[in-house]
Amino acid sequence: MYMEDKEKYIGVMDSGIGGLTVLKQLLNIRPQEKYLYFGDTKNLPYGEKSKEELIKIVKEIFDFFETQNVKAVVLACNTSSATAYEELKDNYSFKIYPLIQVVSKCVTLDKNLKRIGIMATQATVDSKKYTQELKKGNPDIEVFEQACPMWVPIIEKKLTDYDKNTAITQYLDKVLEFNPQKIILGCTHYPYLLDKLSQYADENLFINPAKIFAQYIIEDLRHKNLLSEQNNGYVKYFASHNPQEFEKTAEIFLKLKSHPELVEL
């Protein structure tokens, strides 16, 4: 059946529940759209994988979206924006929104920002993508990138307060020494730790990119005349491993209104 582009889905992907922080903002701004959320729980965590592995994985997810009538795909994942976006962006019929590239462009509109700290996964930090993209927007900006490899496992496995406190100060202290004006939470899972982080530093120091990113995407789709004209929005969820557990863990960000379906990659 022919489907008008406007009425197609918006695909959203992440390694697990992190991308739900972005989906939540998309739903706040534009609940009338139809969304497909893909949590790649089989390959979690992305942050410890090589660029080659991540390109292969993200390609499989894009190939899945290609079969699903999507008008756009949101990389609600810093790690795949850093490692796989450039390699795959020209191979698909849908528009792709990469988190780091979009958020860096928006953040550097404020020319008073000269010192930015980044807290992200190992793969994102190794790619230096945030530094490159922020410098494109403002060549004078200084960037300090800190990998926080313990954070995604802590969030996905909901570890104890003791584990959280030590893991938080271990990475945060290094970023605070750089004396940043702002710290970007450069992994979509990290906003979950905001309560804890704000026990050690001013909450206003942290940027959760989800809102800026979602606003940009919806404005861009509006500009391209690709927003749905109907009012029957909903979300379909997919997970590549153990959808029941995904649904349970997801609750820390969003109560899912439908059960996720298993899609084997």
Catalytic positions, written as ranges? 77, 187
Assess 249 for contact with ligand DGL (CB under 6 A).
no
Tell me the C-alpha distance between 151 and 170, whole Å. 11
- 33 touches ligand DGL (CB under 6 A): no
Task: Please tell me whether residue 131 binds ligand DGL under the rule CB under 6 A.
Answer: no
Q: Does 13 sit near ligand DGL (CB under 6 A)?
A: no
Determine contact, residues 13/74, Cβ cutoff 8 Å: yes
Identify the CA nearest to 262 among candidates 241, 233, 236. 241
Judged by phi (left if over 0) then psi (alpha if -120 to 50, else beta), residue 128 lies in left
**Using CB under 6 A, which residues numbered 47 to 86 contact ligand DGL?**
47, 77-79
Q: Determine which residue in the list 152, 184, 207, 263 makes contact with ligand DGL, applying CB under 6 A.
A: 152
Please tell me whether residue 187 binds ligand DGL under the rule CB under 6 A.
yes
Q: How far, in Å, CA of 157 to CA of 151, rounded?
A: 10
By beta-carbon proximity to ligand DGL, the closer residue of 121 and 138 is 121
Q: Could you tell me how many residues of this chain bind ligand DGL (CB under 6 A)? A: 16
Nearer to ligand DGL, 44 or 235 (CB): 44
Beta-carbon contacts of 75 under 8 Å, excluding residues fewer than 6 positions away, are 13, 58, 81, 85, 96, 97, 98, 99
Among 13, 36, 44, 226, contact with ligand DGL (rule: CB under 6 A): 44
Would you count residue 124 as binding ligand DGL (CB under 6 A)?
A: yes
Our CB check for ligand DGL shows the closer of 30 and 189 to be 189
Residue number, 22 or 226, with CB nearest to ligand DGL: 22
| 204 contacts 5 by C-beta, under 8 angstroms | no
Does 101 bind ligand DGL (CB under 6 A)? Our answer is no
Residue positions counted in the chain = 265
